[in-house]
């Protein structure tokens, strides 16, 4: 009964869902294309067993890389189809896997859209990355003996409160999932409170810890480094509105003591590239954009306005600040910069990655700065003290090595149910 009510409400919201898609299209034209996929109309045919992996956007796609590679290496037994919600996620699938996997947008959770899509794909299993749950999709999979796995699962307190508020539709959904591979104990405890049977939950740690820097990625970073010819480089990654202005002020102050310091800024959302560019162009610094410049040796500030390069850009930097943390967004992935053996700094608002940041900070590889003043002070210390900077980065890298192993635990769990 609860799912019928949910579906009725969802259909009532249909016009607003489409309006939201249109409004997003004015910010990013990619939202205007491939609408059929969002309603379950796809062209897909495979004679292999199909593994359906859903990754919302760029971060989830990156987290899925070790898992996708695992399935692709299973003697060509499986065909992998990856769905995303955003165009940036779609682009990231192409960058990571090329033609080795199929890709389309996940259908909206209307009963008709879900039925069309799943009948066409006919997956052996659905693997949902992190916490992206849709009642009708899960119900259809459960009724058709399609195994459901929640991989690299996390449940922040904020998400728990939201799910708990809608417990009337959430409880049946969590009981239908065959396996939840929770990152940490606090995540597992929250899933239990939401109705997931204890025997369906395993602890794996964070799958992102199993992502290493490949030789090809090191070569790409080396080429970028050659283009820049830097002495010191600071990156502000995954920044949100208002954070760029704070970073610009800090950079202006640091530049007085470190005149050779370069700054790379990579906004979290592509639709903000132009606004951020205008902010920096009014600063009297020399600004270059990754998308349109070939030489960066004379640039003060480089705007990372390309998709899929962030991981390589970390490789040319001495220090990383990860955004979404000076504002109340909850922070972003701090594992990627740590893999390059550089110090990682964040602001006080990191509730989405609290467990990861705790692991990194306990060994000294990550510094949590309570405000912009502390951030500027810590950056200055790291730039002045080469030994401190190197040891901090090395600590971050060691923490990753000690925390790896999630992929093996996850794939062992999956193999037992499929």
In a domain, 14, yes or no: no
pLDDT above 90: residue 396: yes
Whether 246 and 371 share a structural domain: yes
CB 397 within 8 A of CB 339: yes
Whether 222 and 198 share a structural domain: no
What local confidence, expressed as pLDDT, does residue 215 receive?
82
Whether 228 and 317 share a structural domain: yes
In a domain, 3, yes or no: no
Of these residues, 37, 60, 132, 243, which one is catalytic? 60
pLDDT band at 1 (very low <50, low <70, confident <90, very high): low
Whether 161 and 253 share a structural domain: no
- Can you give the CATH number for the domain in which 44 is found? 3.40.50.11720
Whether 206 and 128 share a structural domain: yes
What local confidence, expressed as pLDDT, does residue 164 receive?
87
- Can you give the CATH number for the domain in which 342 is found? 3.40.50.2000
In a domain, 28, yes or no: yes
pTM for the whole structure: 0.81
Task: For residues 151-159, give the mean pLDDT.
Answer: 89
Q: The domain containing residue 226 runs over which residues? A: 215-400
Sheet containing strand 344-346, strands side by side:
287-289, 301-303, 261-267, 232-239, 319-322, 344-346, 366-368
Average pLDDT, the chain: 91
Whether 261 and 391 share a structural domain: yes
Q: For residue 202, give every residue at least 6 positions away whose Cβ sits within 8 Å of its Cβ, in sequence order, or none.
A: 179, 180, 181, 182, 409, 413
Whether 139 and 202 share a structural domain: yes
What local confidence, expressed as pLDDT, does residue 25 receive?
87
203 or 221, greater pLDDT = 203
pLDDT band at 131 (very low <50, low <70, confident <90, very high): confident
Task: For residues 385-405, give the mean pLDDT.
Answer: 94
HEC profile for the chain? Answer: CHHHHHHHHHHHCHHHHHHHHHHHHHHCHHHHCCHHHHCCCCCCCCCCEEEEEECCCHHHHHHHHHHHHHHHCCCCCEEEEEEECCHHHHHHHHHHHHHHCEEEECCCCCHHHHHHHHHHHCCCEEEEECCCCCHHHHHHHHHCCCEEEEEEECCCHHHHHHHHHCHHHHHHHHHHCCEEEECCHHHHHHHHHCCCCHHHEEECCCHHHHCCCCHHHHHHHHHHHHHHCCCEEEEEEEECCCHHHHHHHHHHHHHHHCCCEEEEEEECCHHHHHHHHHHHHCCCCCEEECCCCCCCCCCCEEECCCCCCHHHHHCCCCEEEECCCCCCCCCCCCHHHHHCCCCEEECCCCHHHHHHHHHHHHCCCEEECCCHHHHHHHHHHHHHCHHHHHHHHHHHHHHHHHHCCHHHHHHHHHHHHC
Whether 204 and 285 share a structural domain: no
State the residue for tokens 């859903």: 54
Whether 144 and 238 share a structural domain: no
What local confidence, expressed as pLDDT, does residue 311 receive?
87
What local confidence, expressed as pLDDT, does residue 266 receive?
96
In a domain, 302, yes or no: yes
Specify the number of domains making up the chain.
2
What local confidence, expressed as pLDDT, does residue 165 receive?
86
In a domain, 98, yes or no: yes
Lowest mean pLDDT among 164-173, 222-231, 250-259, 266-275: 222-231
In a domain, 112, yes or no: yes
Can 281 be counted among the known catalytic residues? no
In a domain, 266, yes or no: yes
Q: What percent of the chain has pLDDT over 90?
A: 65
Lowest mean pLDDT among 211-225, 299-313, 338-352: 211-225
Whether 200 and 245 share a structural domain: no
Whether 251 and 349 share a structural domain: yes
In a domain, 6, yes or no: no
What local confidence, expressed as pLDDT, does residue 75 receive?
66
Whether 190 and 221 share a structural domain: no
């Amino acid at each position: 009964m609860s799912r019928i009510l949910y579906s009725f409400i969802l259909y009532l919201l249909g016009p607003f869902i489409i309006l939201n898609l249109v409004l997003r299209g004015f910010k990013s034209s990619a939202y205007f294309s491939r609408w059929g996929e969002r309603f379950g109309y796809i062209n897909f045919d495979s004679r292999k067993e199909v593994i359906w992996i859903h990754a919302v956007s760029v971060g989830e796609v990156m987290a899925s890389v070790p898992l996708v590679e695992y399935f692709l290496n299973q003697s060509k037994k499986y065909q992998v189809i990856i769905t995303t919600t955003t165009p940036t996620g779609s682009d990231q699938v192409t960058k990571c896997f090329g033609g080795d996997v199929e890709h389309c947008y996940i259908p909206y959770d209307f009963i008709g859209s879900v039925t069309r899509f799943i009948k066409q794909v006919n997956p052996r299993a659905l693997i949902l990355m992190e916490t992206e749950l849709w009642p009708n999709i899960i119900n259809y999979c459960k009724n058709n003996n399609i195994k459901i796995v929640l991989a690299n699962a996390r449940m922040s307190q904020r998400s728990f409160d939201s799910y708990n508020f809608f417990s009337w539709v959430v409880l049946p959904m969590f009981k239908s999932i065959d396996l939840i591979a929770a990152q940490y104990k606090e995540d597992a405890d929250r899933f239990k409170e939401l109705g997931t049977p204890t025997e369906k939950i395993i602890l794996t740690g964070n799958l992102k810890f199993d992502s290493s820097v490949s030789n090809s990625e090191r070569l790409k970073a080396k080429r970028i480094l050659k283009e820049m010819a830097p002495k010191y480089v600071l990156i502000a990654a995954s920044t949100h509105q208002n954070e760029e202005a704070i970073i610009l002020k800090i950079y202006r102050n640091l530049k007085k003591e470190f005149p050779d310091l370069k700054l790379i800024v990579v906004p979290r959302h592509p639709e903000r590239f132009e606004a951020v560019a205008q902010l920096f162009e009014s600063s009297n610094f020399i600004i270059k954009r990754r998308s349109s410049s070939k030489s960066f040796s004379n640039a003060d500030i480089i705007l990372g306005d390309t998709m899929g390069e962030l991981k390589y850009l970390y490789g040319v930097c001495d220090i990383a600040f990860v955004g979404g943390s000076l504002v109340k967004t909850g922070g972003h992935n701090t594992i990627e910069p740590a893999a390059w053996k550089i110090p990682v700094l964040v602001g006080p608002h990191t509730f989405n990655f609290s467990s990861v940041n705790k692991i990194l900070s306990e060994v000294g590889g990550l510094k949590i700065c309570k405000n912009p003043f502390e951030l500027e002070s810590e950056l200055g210390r790291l730039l002045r003290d080469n030994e401190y900077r190197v040891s901090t980065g090395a600590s971050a890298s060691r923490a990753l090595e000690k925390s790896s192993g999630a992929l093996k635990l996850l794939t062992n769990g999956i193999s037992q149910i499929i």
